[in-house]
């Protein structure tokens, strides 16, 4: 299989992925049931009204007397309030709030209330402020974990990490394509085999491999950024530390920061795959692609 066929295969993967996504949206649009979804405000189910789902982000869901939600009632940053004789056939979920049931109200499914104390944050900082703080805290913890593993792996497997970083530097486009192709392949694999015996056995292994490759890619990304500043440093620890600090600062940028981190890690993840977890040097990668393109004859040919 030459490089042109590999490119076409990646495009087929992307096309299949888009078909799956678009098909899911079409099915959702063909539903005739009534669903209310609102952000930054409350959802109120009128008396004796029947809805399919009621979802409020940054607000509460209130089901008035004899109102009914046939599936789920979900409030993020608010309460789920059931007035007398109101009913939820599915689950009642309140994240950052509480579930309040008045006399005669019924929840057939589960009642889930999480982070009830977080309602103070929603009241103080609003929906987007709370989401930003949560995202910033999650990003900070994630990058600290990556840094800790990175220090350990730079001591244990310095050659592999350096090889992945060099692959990112010398083959950025190929790294991005391999990263994108890897994510699409994993998504399609899980979508196709979920629920089967084959999937039950292999999906956990695939997810573990994906997590390990993602971690290695994030470590290499931090080192790659640091080397852009300290290109002449013999030791990798100082560039890695500086690179991780830069990633932490980037993660604090609202919305765009998370997207930038995601794109950078896509290059790192692809470099892990392209370099075969750091076991193939960038120069050998280029020679292999040249042979696939037919520009270099194999040895002895």
Distance between CA atoms of residues 240 and 222, nearest Å: 6
Length of the chain: 301
Q: Are residues 262 and 186 in the same domain?
A: yes
Q: How many domains does the chain have?
A: 2
User: Sorting pLDDT into bands at 50, 70 and 90, what band is 14?
Assistant: low
Q: What pLDDT, on the 0 to 100 scale, is given for residue 290?
A: 63
Model confidence at 294, in pLDDT bands (50, 70, 90)?
low
In a domain, 186, yes or no: yes
Q: Which of 41, 29, 34, 110 is nearest to 76 (CA)?
A: 41
Residues of the domain holding 85: 35-114
In a shared domain, residues 268 and 134: yes
d(CA 151, CA 147) in angstroms, rounded, equals 6
Comparing C-alpha atoms, which of 289, 268, 290, 265 is closest to residue 278? Answer: 268
Q: Find the mean pLDDT for residues 107-111.
A: 90
At residue 285 the predicted structure's pLDDT band, cuts being 50, 70 and 90, is confident
Mean pLDDT of the 220-234 span: 82
Q: Are 81 and 62 a contacting pair, CB within 8 Å?
A: yes
Per DSSP, helices labelled H in 82-196 are 119-156, 158-170, 172-193
Domain closes at, from 114, 143, 168: 114
Q: On the CB side of 125, how many CA atoms lie within 13 Å of its CA?
A: 14
82 and 134 in a common domain: no
Q: How far apart are the first and last CA of the chain?
A: 18
Do residues 169 and 91 both lie within one domain? no
- The HSE-up count of residue 69 (CA atoms within 13 Å, CB side) is 32
Choosing from 60, 87, 114, the residue where a domain stops is 114
From 50, 85, 114, give the residue that closes a domain: 114
More confident residue, 24 or 134: 134
Domain annotation covers residue 219: yes
Confidence of residue 272 (pLDDT cuts 50, 70, 90): very high
């Amino acid at each position: 299989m030459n490089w042109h066929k590999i490119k076409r295969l990646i495009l087929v993967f992307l096309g299949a992925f888009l078909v799956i996504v678009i098909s899911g949206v079409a099915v959702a649009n063909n539903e005739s049931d009534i669903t209310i979804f609102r952000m930054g405000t409350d959802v109120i189910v009128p008396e004796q009204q029947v809805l399919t789902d009621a979802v409020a982000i940054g607000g509460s869901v209130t089901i008035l007397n004899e109102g009914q939600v046939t599936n789920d009632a979900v409030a993020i940053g608010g309460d789920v309030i059931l007035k007398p004789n109101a009913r939820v056939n599915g689950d009642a979920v309140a994240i950052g709030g509480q579930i309040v049931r008045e006399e005669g109200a019924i929840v057939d499914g589960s009642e889930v209330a999480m982070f009830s104390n977080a309602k103070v944050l929603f009241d103080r900082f609003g929906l987007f402020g709370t989401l930003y703080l949560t995202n910033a805290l999650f990003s900070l913890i994630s990058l600290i974990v990556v840094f800790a593993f990175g220090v350990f792996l730079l001591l244990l497997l310095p050659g592999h990490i350096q090889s992945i970083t060099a692959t990112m530097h010398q083959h950025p486009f190929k790294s991005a394509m391999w990263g994108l192709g890897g994510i699409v392949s994993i998504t399609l694999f899980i979508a196709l085999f979920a629920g089967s015996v084959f999937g039950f056995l292999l999906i956990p292994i695939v997810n573990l491999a994906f997590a390990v490759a993602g971690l290695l890619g994030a470590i290499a990304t931090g080192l790659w950024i640091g080397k852009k500043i300290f290109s002449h440093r013999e030791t990798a620890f100082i560039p890695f530390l500086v690179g991780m600090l830069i990633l932490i600062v980037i993660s604090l940028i609202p919305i765009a920061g998370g997207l930038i981190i995601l794109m950078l890690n896509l290059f790192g993840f692809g470099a892990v795959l392209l370099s075969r977890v750091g076991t193939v040097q960038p120069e050998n990668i280029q020679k292999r692609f040249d042979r696939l393109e037919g520009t270099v004859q194999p040895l002895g040919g």
